Amino acid sequence: MKTIAVIGAGTMGNGIAHTFAQNGFTVKLIDVSEKALDKGMNTIANNLDRMLAKGTITQEDVAKTITNIITYTDIKDGVVGVDLVIEAATENVDLKLSIFKQLNEVCSHNTILATNTSSISITQIGAVVAHPDRVIGMHFMNPVPIMQLVEVIRGYNTSDEVTQIIMQLSEKLGKTPVEVNDYPGFVANRILMPMINEAIETLYNQVAGVYEIDTVMKLGMAHPMGPLQLADFIGLDVCLSILNVMYDGYKNPKYAPCPLLVNMVRAGKLGVKSGEGFYDYSAIKKAEKVAAQFI
């Protein structure tokens, strides 16, 4: 496997493209928007520059990584001759199903089709594709070039052969793959999102403030960042989407999103990407200033 396509040039897509390109793969980065592709490539260049400044890579590594990435605005053109496609579009089931229907039309039946979904059923996605045995989940963690884990999710029809190929491929990237089965939220988000939701409930019920909740979890539980800060980093809209998928999938009220989370998303307070969530990022992209509504 030498050539892959990544669909989506956003945070996860450009991180996945960066990681594969840095490890010597030819990457075809696809997005419908030329602007999104330019932004994604700028993010990759900036991240490489930071790695260069830290001495973890060389100038030659930077040049080779950028050279290994080719951008496309058309899926049909971008998937020609690839061994693997990784879809990293927005966490929206209708969008993902639409993309996989397109892939079914334009890709060879030998092409492995992966999705970076963090919660949506691999089995459901595979159902719109001929030969669903080649459909699998590759859930990378953000930031992709740094985080070690890849959740490898088997759909109901995913073959043993495809699973082993993806497990071995993940190891070639320097990642640690963990095989899990296809249930809403898989492992990572089935455990993480209820914790984040409970932190929001704790704030909603006025048990403690934003800073206090995050400090308890950082100092008391040795978490690198508090759950409210992490929610801002992930994106509150993404957190809400994942919780809704789990709530719909399990019909268990423990996965029901907190009303405060719902209202914040409705108000456009999405975290780092919108400039405000539980913290105010208007002046600095760090969780140092609690948002005005929670002071």
* 132 band by pLDDT with thresholds 50, 70 and 90: very high
Q: Is the peptide bond before 184 cis (omega within 30 degrees of 0)?
A: no
Taking only the tens place, the pLDDT of each residue in 10-58 is: 999 999 999 999 999 999 999 999 999 999 999 999 999 999 999 999 9
pLDDT, residue 1, reads 86
pLDDT digits (tens, 9 = 90+) for 276-286: 999 999 999 89
DSSP 133-169: GGEEEEEEPSSTTT--EEEEEE-TT--HHHHHHHHHH
pLDDT above 90: percentage of residues in the chain:
99
Active site residues: 118, 139, 151, 189
Residue 210 has pLDDT above 90, yes or no: yes
Rounded to the nearest 10 degrees, the angle between the axes of helix 11-22 and helix 59-67 is 120
Q: Measured between alpha carbons, how far is 93 from 206 in angstroms, rounded to an integer?
A: 34
- Contacts of 260 by beta carbon, 8 Å cutoff, 6+ apart: 200, 201, 203, 204
Residue 163 has pLDDT above 90, yes or no: yes
What mean pLDDT is predicted for residues 152-165?
A: 98
Q: Using alpha carbons, select from 239, 131, 251 the residue that is nearest to residue 183.
A: 251
Q: 127: helix, coil or strand?
A: coil
103-116 residue pLDDT tens: 999 999 999 999 99
